[in-house]
Amino acid sequence: MSKFANLVNEKYGKSLDQMTDQELYQALLELIKDKANDYPLNNSKKKLYYVSAEFLIGKLLSNNLLNLGLYDEIEAELQSVEKTIAQVEEAESEPSLGNGGLGRLAACFLDSIATLGINGDGVGLNYHFGLFQQLLVHREQHAVPDSWLDQDTWVKRSQKTYDVPFANFTLSSTLYDIDVFGYGNKKRNRLRLFDLDSINSKIIEYGSINFDKQNIAENLTLFLYPDDSDAEGKLLRIFQQYFMVSNAAQLIIDEAIERGSNVHDLADYAVVQINDTHPALIIPEFIRLFTQEYNIGIDEAVEIVKNTIAFTNHTILAEALEKWPMGALERVSPDIAYIIRDLDKRVRKAHPDAPGGFIIDDHGQAHMANMSIHYGFSVNGVAALHTEILRDTELKEFEDLYPGRINNKTNGITFRRWIMNSNKALSSLLDEKIGEEWRVNHDLTAFEKYADDKDVHAALAEIKAHDKLKLKEHLLHRQAVVINENSIIDVQIKRIHEYKRQQMLALYIVHKYMDIKKGNTPKTPITILFGGKAAPAYIIAQDIIHFIMVMSEIIAKDPAVSPYLQVVMVENYNVTAAEYLIPATDISEQISLASKEASGTGNMKFMLNGALTVATVDGANREIAELVGEDNIYLFGKQADEIVELYETSGYNAYEYYNDPKLRSLVDFIISDKAIAIGNRERLYRLHNDIVNKDYFMALIDLEEFIEVKEKMYEDYEDQDLWMTKVVKNIAHAGFFSSDRTISDYNRDIWHLEADYEVVIDK
Ligand code: 26Q
């Protein structure tokens, strides 16, 4: 009997074929948790702490099996009882401990850090409820709690506990760990998640995501906050952030001492990368601990922090830059408020002529980004264009004050999850054509020589067709929707936000619908899929979902159009859904208003999986275009510098665009009799009014060009050799976007840690 069958027999008294999927999942979980003991922790002198409010790790079963080199063995065993790992993984609930890109990036980074053998842990919070689950009922989003901890999970309780002193009370925490295995690496790291001991999930209203927001002592780690959350949640979020960083700072100091630090030399033992400003309060918290607990003078404390903290910025949206009222900080911790005032005084003294960089502004608000730049040694953007914009505009004063401090680290994605696991057929084709080395060095450039190879084109087409079938099955099973597996699959998946311009794609759909009604039927049917959650407090985002679903229904009910066009809003878009959607996609929608998307990472996943991209020159799209060449990507729209100028001069007037009869007919369809007959009048009028009179994110500015480029794309699809040539070139240049490259760059320029990298290739 095999080891696994043996374990199953011992623990469950059953043979493999008698086990349910749920039981098999539990058994594999246990097997891997045991196996972790054979993998010592990385333990070099200096250690990275990636502190983040979000780690959107997704399901871990198949990725852990892959990284441990157990995948094939377990797949074969399950096959003997006519099951697959994918099927067993259905029983695992997805830990949705993140909102979107920033959280998923943190998860990809953990995978790469472990794979490269770098001593580095993630540090965050053990939310009892992850990002809400989205139900689509009557063409509207409903948010329900995501109770992922109800079943057995990867989380292990540790012995470590801490106290966190708030203004009026002290709360205690317990640390939980999730093991992080690198691909083929024999050592392990961990994701360290703190939880509140006095948590009480009974304070949640049954079946809703509402709870008593005042009850800090019982609610602190209950929920992950949606971005764009309401004002009521703000104070709670500061409490949550302080709880996270106080625990993190105490852990980091304790572990450094264990490795030999005397705290004065902390920067030789630890480097702390803060993921956006959500963990920025770790700066004053370190200073509080150094001065109060370790007898270090404040000047030295400030110096230690400056040498330890590095900050990543993920946004230039002004409304997303965190500013906390000093009054609110006082209510959380008077000590922290006092230290922030002191840090502000130091900045004002040293740089009186750079008021844009002051920490506390004239309205008594503390700017977390400013504090993180002054009191860290590195600040990085997440794509070349994003970093240029930071240097030239938002952070211009800082570039002058600290030349060289602002640096770029273009985002990446882990190839383990986003191709090796989710697209096994494509991975095998690459093995066959260019050898297996790409799995460890992420170099795919050798694939370019197949750009005109008809057999490779045919093989790629076959893989895509198979992945479309898998997606079809998944959607049928998950939401009882039937898609056409022979259609062009055109996908926009990401959080719903006006700057990402789902509403622009919806207006394109209106155009296409009208055009088909006029008799211009596409040669190949088109399926446009949207996926994404809208923050519950973000009303216009909910209205956009509603309009998409209204269009979906109008089209489905119109027999003259439905054979050619289908629109689907995928319910509860999450990491698991992405793993089905991305391999099946032909057209990747990356259509944000130029300058607004810091990087994007979905764009990279699609390219790697053989989709072609329609894109504005924004975030990492620009780097994709540079790599593949402009013939192999479909660019359109205004450039970032033009948009930045329009904002500076208030030069955009939506109404002028609306006055164009062609655009007007599309926009007015939102409030047409047909739409109102199906939809909610209030929502549709609000959306219409917003686009006509405000359109802050300029959905109309690029719409005409967007329509043109999309028509060109569908036309090009008809020439499959032309299309597949471009697909090959996209895959061949995707290697740059491996998060192993990103992490190597962070390590080379910022962290300077040893990398203990010895990989055994094992599919
Ligand atoms: C802030 C205050 C209160 C409540 C919530 C928040 C909050 C939470 C999450 C603000 C922002 C976020 C998430 C931001 C995010 O995901 N940014 C994305 O980061 C990706 C990784 O770098 C980039 O690829 C995307 O371009 C960027 O939008």
Per the DSSP assignment, residues forming a β-bridge with 161 are: 174
Q: Which atom of ligand 1 is nearest to the CA of 600?
A: 24
Question: Rounded to 5 degrees, what are φ and ψ at 458?
Answer: -65, -40
Which residue has a Cα nearest atom 1 of ligand 1?
227
3-state secondary structure of 600: coil
Annotated active-site residue 500? The verdict is yes
Which residue has a Cα nearest atom 2 of ligand 1?
227
Query: For residue 276, how far is its CA from the centre of ligand 1 (angstroms)?
Result: 8
Query: For residue 315, how far is its CA from the centre of ligand 1 (angstroms)?
Result: 7
Range scoring the smallest mean pLDDT among 248-257, 502-511, 649-658, 751-760? 751-760
The mean pLDDT of 257-271, rounded to a whole number, is 98
Rounded Cα distance, 639 and 549, in Å: 31
Q: What is the DSSP string of 661-730?
A: HHHHHHHHGGGSHHHHHHS-HHHHHHHHHHHHHT-TT-TTTTHHHHHHHHHHHHHHHTSHHHHHHHHHHH
The mean pLDDT of 351-374, rounded to a whole number, is 97
* 461 pLDDT above the threshold of 70: yes
Annotated active-site residue 156? The verdict is no
Catalytic residue among 278, 409, 442, 494: 494
Give 471 or 202, the one with higher predicted confidence. Answer: 471
Which of 239, 315, 389 maximizes ligand 1 atoms within 8 Å of its Cβ, making it the mutation to test the pocket?
315
Between strands 323-325 and 365-367, the pairing is antiparallel
Q: How far apart are the first and last CA of the chain?
A: 23
Query: For residue 158, how far is its CA from the centre of ligand 1 (angstroms)?
Result: 29
pLDDT at 176: 98
740 vs 108, 250, 751, 757, CA distance in Å?
Answer: 9, 29, 14, 11
- Angle, helices 454-479 vs 720-732, to 10°: value is 80
Query: For residue 100, how far is its CA from the centre of ligand 1 (angstroms)?
Result: 7
Catalytic residue among 47, 457, 605, 638: 605
Residue 361 in tokens: 């502004």
pLDDT at 763: 46
216 vs 116, 131, 133, 169, 240, CA distance in Å?
Answer: 39, 19, 23, 10, 9
Which residue has a Cα nearest atom 12 of ligand 1?
227
Per the DSSP assignment, residues forming a β-bridge with 124 are: 193
- Angle, helices 502-517 vs 703-717, to 10°: value is 60
- Average of per-residue pLDDT values in the chain: 96
Which residue has a Cα nearest atom 9 of ligand 1?
227
Which residue has a Cα nearest atom 5 of ligand 1?
227
Rounded Cα distance, 316 and 393, in Å: 10
Annotated active-site residue 494? The verdict is yes
Q: What is the DSSP string of 90-106?
A: TTSPP--B-SSHHHHHH
pLDDT at 1: 66
Q: What secondary structure, in 3-state letters, does 483-522 show? A: CCCCCEEEEEECCCCHHHCHHHHHHHHHHHHHHHHCCCCC
Residue 744 in tokens: 């190597």
Residue in the block written with tokens 């690496």? 185
Helix (H) or strand (E) run with residue 176 in it: strand 170-181
3-state secondary structure of 759: coil
Residue 351 in tokens: 């740089």
* 143 pLDDT above the threshold of 80: yes
Beta-carbon count within 10 A of 665 CB: 13
The mean pLDDT of 395-402, rounded to a whole number, is 93
Which residue has a Cα nearest atom 11 of ligand 1?
227
Q: Which atom of ligand 1 is nearest to the CA of 411?
A: 22
pLDDT band at 184 (very low <50, low <70, confident <90, very high): very high
Catalytic residue among 46, 417, 500, 741: 500
Catalytic residue among 104, 128, 190, 495: 495
Query: For residue 7, how far is its CA from the centre of ligand 1 (angstroms)?
Result: 43
Ligand 1 cavity residues, CB under 6 Å: 99-102, 105, 225, 227, 229, 237, 314-315, 320, 322, 382, 411, 597-601, 619
121 vs 63, 111, 361, 551, CA distance in Å?
Answer: 18, 10, 34, 45
Annotated active-site residue 442? The verdict is no
Query: For residue 404, how far is its CA from the centre of ligand 1 (angstroms)?
Result: 25
Per the DSSP assignment, residues forming a β-bridge with 120 are: 48
Range scoring the smallest mean pLDDT among 212-221, 430-439, 506-515, 626-635? 212-221
Which residue has a Cα nearest atom 17 of ligand 1?
102
Which residue has a Cα nearest atom 25 of ligand 1?
600
Query: For residue 330, how far is its CA from the centre of ligand 1 (angstroms)?
Result: 26
586 vs 269, 306, 582, CA distance in Å?
Answer: 47, 46, 9
List, for residues 517-563, the tens digit of each pLDDT value.
999 999 999 999 999 999 999 999 999 999 999 999 999 999 999 99
Could you tell me the pTM of the whole model? 0.98
* 686 pLDDT above the threshold of 60: yes
Which residue has a Cα nearest atom 15 of ligand 1?
102
Rounded Cα distance, 575 and 601, in Å: 13
Length reported for the chain: 763
The mean pLDDT of 476-486, rounded to a whole number, is 97
Q: Which atom of ligand 1 is nearest to the CA of 598?
A: 26
Buried b (16+ CB within 10 A) or exposed e, 236-250: bbbbbbbbbbbbbbb
Query: For residue 51, how far is its CA from the centre of ligand 1 (angstroms)?
Result: 14
Query: For residue 523, how far is its CA from the centre of ligand 1 (angstroms)?
Result: 39
Catalytic residue among 277, 312, 601, 725: 601
Annotated active-site residue 601? The verdict is yes
Which residue has a Cα nearest atom 19 of ligand 1?
102
Which of 132, 223, 225, 227 maximizes ligand 1 atoms within 8 Å of its Cβ, making it the mutation to test the pocket?
227
Query: For residue 398, how far is its CA from the centre of ligand 1 (angstroms)?
Result: 22
CB-hemisphere CA count at 13 Å for 285?
25
- Quick one: which of 332, 163, 329, 331 has its CA closest to 343? 329
Range scoring the smallest mean pLDDT among 229-238, 298-307, 737-746, 754-763? 754-763
List, for residues 28-61, the tens digit of each pLDDT value.
999 999 999 999 999 999 999 999 999 999 999 9
184: region left, alpha or beta (phi > 0 left; psi from -120 to 50 alpha): left
Three-point CA angle 742, 744, 750, nearest 5°: 95
Which of 242, 278, 314 maximizes ligand 1 atoms within 8 Å of its Cβ, making it the mutation to test the pocket?
314
Which of 102, 131, 499 maximizes ligand 1 atoms within 8 Å of its Cβ, making it the mutation to test the pocket?
102
pLDDT at 228: 66
Rounded Cα distance, 338 and 429, in Å: 60
Rounded Cα distance, 525 and 580, in Å: 20
pLDDT at 538: 94
Q: Which atom of ligand 1 is nearest to the CA of 100?
A: 16
Query: For residue 451, how far is its CA from the centre of ligand 1 (angstroms)?
Result: 36
pLDDT at 229: 64
- Quick one: which of 346, 356, 355, 271 has its CA closest to 311? 271
The mean pLDDT of 86-103, rounded to a whole number, is 96
The mean pLDDT of 157-169, rounded to a whole number, is 97
Per the DSSP assignment, residues forming a β-bridge with 568 are: 529
